[in-house]
């Protein structure tokens, strides 16, 4: 059970080798990637910034909650910081369980909670040269409702 924040490229093929044992009947993984478009704007690149000690602590709490709620066997999440290009992996999650239902549910729980609670920030660079810290606008449609999906 580990939540890690890293400035290094995420390598799922390497990470998956450490996941699971013969109790496992289901392994669900999730990849969050840098998309070329957000809210109708053309995205060129992203910067991620983290408050690392608290991000890893809060992330660990989320993984522990997932274990308690869904009875999963293991949960691992790795999140990038730094400058990312289109197509780069921003976040990777692996959940193992005896059965698929718990693994799918826990994976969804971990990514949703991580996006809402873990102190990591995303700055988008757009095709028109402008930039924006996502969810940090002080006016406009994003302010009262939930932030844009990522």
Partner 1 sequence: MNKSVSVSYYAILREQRGLGTEEVPTMAVTASDLYEELRARHGFTLPASRVRVAVNDDFQPWGVAVEDGDRIAFLPPVAGG
Rg (CA), the chain: 16
List all residues 6 or more positions away from 135 whose beta carbon is below 8 Å from its beta carbon.
142, 147, 148
Least distance CB 76 / partner 1 (angstroms): 15
Q: Report residue 24 as tokens.
A: 């496992």
Task: Look up residue 140 and give its two tokens.
Answer: 């406009």
Q: How far is the CB of 77 from partner 1 (least distance, A)?
A: 10
Considering only residues 10, 28, 48, 96, which one is a binding residue for partner 1 as defined by CB under 8 A?
48
Q: Does 126 bind partner 1 (CB under 8 A)?
A: no
Q: Which of residues 86-125 bind partner 1 (CB under 8 A)?
A: 90-91, 111, 114-123
| Interface pattern 56-75 for partner 1 (x via CB under 8 A) | -xx-----------------
Between β-strands 2-6 and 74-80, what pairing exists: parallel, antiparallel or unpaired?
Answer: parallel
Our finding on whether 76 is near partner 1 (CB under 8 A) is no
Length of the chain: 150
Q: Any idea of the CA torsion for 1, 66, 100, 29, to the nearest 10 degrees? A: -50
In the complex with partner 1, which residue's Cβ is closer, 8 or 99? 8
36 interacts with partner 1 by CB under 8 A? no
Strand pairing class (2-6; 37-38): unpaired
Binding site residues, partner 1, CB under 8 A: 32, 48-51, 53-55, 57-58, 79, 90-91, 111, 114-123, 133-136, 138, 147, 150
């Amino acid at each position: 059970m580990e939540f890690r924040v890293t400035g290094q490229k995420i390598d799922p093929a390497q990470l998956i080798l450490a996941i699971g044992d013969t109790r496992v009947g289901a392994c669900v993984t999730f990849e969050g990637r840098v998309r070329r478009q957000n809210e109708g704007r053309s995205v060129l690149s992203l910067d991620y910034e983290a408050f690392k000690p608290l991000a890893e602590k809060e992330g660990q709490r989320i993984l522990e909650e997932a274990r308690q709620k869904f009875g999963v066997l293991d949960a691992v999440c790795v999140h990038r910081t730094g400058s990312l290009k289109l197509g780069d992996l921003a976040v990777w999650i692996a959940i193992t369980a005896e059965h698929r239902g718990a693994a799918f549910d826990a994976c969804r729980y971990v990514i949703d909670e991580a996006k809402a609670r873990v102190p990591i920030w995303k700055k988008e660079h757009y095709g028109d040269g402008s930039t924006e810290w996502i969810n940090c606008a002080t006016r406009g449609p994003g302010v009262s409702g939930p932030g844009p999906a990522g």
